[in-house]
Amino acid sequence: MADHTVTSEVVFRIRRFDPTTDADPHWEDYRFPCPPGMTVLEGLKQIKESLSPTLAWRSSCRMGVCGSCGMFINGRPRLACNTQVSELESSLITVAPLPNFNIIRDLVPDLTPMFKAHAEMQPYIIRDDTREQQQPTGEYWQSPHQLEQYLQFSYCIKCGCCMAACPTCATDPVYAGPMPLSQAHRYSSDSRDGGFAARKQVLSGERGPWRCHFAGECSRVCPKGVDPARAIQLMKRQLVVDYLKLGKQKCPASIAKVPDGVKRREGIPEAPPRTI
Amino acid sequence: MIENKGRPNRLGVKGWLGGGRWGFERYLYALHRLTGLALLAYFVLHIGVTSSRAFGENAWTSAMGAVKGPLFSVGEFLVFAAFAFHAVNGIRLALVELGFAIGQPIEPVYPYRTSVDEQRPLAIGVMILAAILAIVGGIGFLK
């Protein structure tokens, strides 16, 4: 077992591609000392500062929140900022751009098709009460149990790791993919939403969830524990129940009215003034 | 219309297997597809052989003679094994796709427990069942 408390030398094998000079991608090796706790992202920054200033990648927050630095690291899609070199248990670190996306340059994938599919799923609350949404008079009622039905899926950071791991995405450019479909279910399973009928037009088509055959890889690689595979299977059940008309028609949650004749307890400050 | 830019980097069929760093269910996914294609190929062959009966008894005898021998017996056993796997794994997929055995949405707390982990006992169970079916079928072919 390697000692992770001392500086050791590592080799970063990086897949390079410059569309202005290269016909095909190629591998380049960079050897440097790796101090304890160094992440793959920090390794890339070290290479750019001291070994190869032309290396290109996409990153921002450095803390697994923005979803920019998804890469194919030692054979699995991971966030570079969230992956310590020591946890890879190897002195050879291979870094490639996320597969199943076109390569713009070096480690920069073109995520446009994913975001386009995401937009097709109408990933927002859809309701008929437009006036209430523009000029709210209260909060929509939602129980803790109803919150649990979608909360897990709302943690998605759109990094694209699930799309890179999906074997269906590897061969099928029509399939929308785990991220857009799980986000469709995130909103369709929200008790405040009434947009399932609108999303169904896309979901029941050839881009929908029926091309998923539960390889489960999307859930295994998700850095936020979103579990897109679960969302997609639950969406399939929702579609079947809707098609066979087995479920009850659900109305979007109503506004939680403040009960009449209730006084605020002493010592509890008033709510801040409304901003909208 | 947003145009894709950059160099294509889709994994293709090799993405079904992915270089050995993937999970158990991914291999079931690949095997399910391969056995499905194999059963389809067998079905076409089977229809071709049995349709020879329409051309008379001699054609039928000749076609049946062409598919006799130990090689075809092994092939028939492989078709049966493929059928056993494809059938029971198909039942697993139908159950999972209807939302059974994958658990309810939960607050993701590291280390994450996913729907794949939830249905793992089902996946192992159906593989044991497929193996038993294939072995029983194999004994039948040996007789």
**Mind listing the pLDDT tens digit of every residue in chain A (276 residues)?**
456 677 899 999 999 999 999 999 999 999 999 999 999 999 999 999 999 999 999 999 999 999 999 999 999 999 999 999 999 999 999 999 999 999 999 999 999 999 999 999 999 999 999 888 888 888 899 999 999 999 999 999 999 999 999 999 999 999 999 999 999 999 999 999 999 999 999 999 999 999 999 999 999 999 999 999 999 999 999 999 999 999 887 889 999 877 788 888 889 888 888 776
A106, A18 in Cβ contact below 8 A? yes
A219, A230 in Cβ contact below 8 A? yes
Choose the closest CB to A171 out of B8, B12, B104. B12
Are the Cβ atoms of B112 and A151 closer than 8 angstroms? no
Q: For residue A103, give the nearest of B23, B75, B11 by alpha carbon.
A: B11
pLDDT at B21 over 70: no
A253-259 long-range contacts (CB < 8 A, ≥24 apart) are A253/A140, A253/A141, A253/A142, A253/A146, A253/A191, A253/A192, A254/A140, A254/A141, A255/A132, A255/A137, A255/A138, A255/A139, A255/A140, A255/A141, A256/A138, A256/A139, A256/A140, A256/A141, A257/A138, A258/A138
A-interface mutation test, from B1, B2, B11, B124, most A Cβ less than 10 A away: B11
CATH fold of A8-109 reads Ubiquitin-like (UB roll) (3.10.20)
Residue B19's pLDDT band (boundaries 50, 70, 90)? very low
A-interface mutation test, from B29, B86, B107, most A Cβ less than 10 A away: B29
Burial of A260 (0-12, 13-18, 19+ CB in 10 A): exposed
Are the Cβ atoms of B23 and A112 closer than 8 angstroms? no
B1 lies within 8 A of chain A by CB: no
Q: In which residue ranges of chain A is CATH 1.10.1060.10 found?
A: 112-243
The CB density around residue B85, as the number of other CB atoms within 10 Å, is: 24
* Tens of pLDDT, residues B37-82: 999 999 999 999 899 999 999 999 998 888 888 888 889 999 999 9
Please tell me chain B's helix, strand, coil percentages from 3-state DSSP, rounded to the nearest 5.
Answer: 75, 0, 25
B130 lies within 8 A of chain A by CB: no
Which of left, alpha, beta for B115 (phi over 0: left; psi -120 to 50: alpha)? alpha
User: Helices in chain A by DSSP H: which ranges?
Assistant: 40-50, 112-120, 130-134, 144-151, 161-165, 167-171, 178-188, 196-203, 217-221, 228-243
Q: In which residue ranges of chain A is CATH 3.10.20.30 found?
A: 8-109
- The whole-angstrom separation of Cα A168 and Cα A175 is 7
B141, B80 in Cβ contact below 8 A? yes
Are the Cβ atoms of A102 and B7 closer than 8 angstroms? yes
- Residue with the two structure tokens 């076109």: A102
Chain A neighbors of B119, CB-CB under 8 A: 214
Q: For residue A30, give the nearest of A109, A92, A105 by alpha carbon.
A: A92
* Tens of pLDDT, residues A200-222: 999 999 999 999 999 999 999 99
Are the Cβ atoms of A216 and B23 closer than 8 angstroms? yes
Q: For residue A61, give the nearest of A159, A178, A183, A163 by alpha carbon.
A: A159
The CB density around residue A32, as the number of other CB atoms within 10 Å, is: 14
CA of A182 to nearest chain B CA: how many angstroms apart? Answer: 12
Are the Cβ atoms of B115 and A230 closer than 8 angstroms? yes
Quick one: pLDDT at residue A3? 66
What is each CA distance from A119 to A112, A184, A228, B36, in whole angstroms? Answer: 11, 10, 17, 34
CATH fold of A112-243 reads Fumarate Reductase Iron-sulfur Protein; Chain B, domain 2 (1.10.1060)
* Tens of pLDDT, residues A234-247: 999 999 999 999 98
Choose the closest CB to B115 out of A103, A173, A219. A219
Are the Cβ atoms of A17 and B110 closer than 8 angstroms? no
B135, B84 in Cβ contact below 8 A? no
A13, A92 in Cβ contact below 8 A? yes
Residues 193-232 of A with CB under 8 A from B: 213-217, 219-220, 222, 224-227, 229-231
β-partners of residue A22 are none
Q: For residue A161, give the nearest of A119, A212, A99, A215 by alpha carbon.
A: A99
ipTM over cut 0.85: yes
- The whole-angstrom separation of Cα B100 and Cα B95 is 5
Strand A8-16 with A26-34, pairing? antiparallel
Coil, helix or strand at residue A128: coil
pLDDT at B1 over 50: no
- 8-state DSSP, B41: H
Quick one: pLDDT at residue B3? 55
Chain A neighbors of B126, CB-CB under 8 A: none
CA of A45 to nearest chain B CA: how many angstroms apart? Answer: 23
pLDDT at B18 over 70: no
* Tens of pLDDT, residues B92-136: 999 999 999 999 999 999 999 999 999 999 999 999 999 999 999
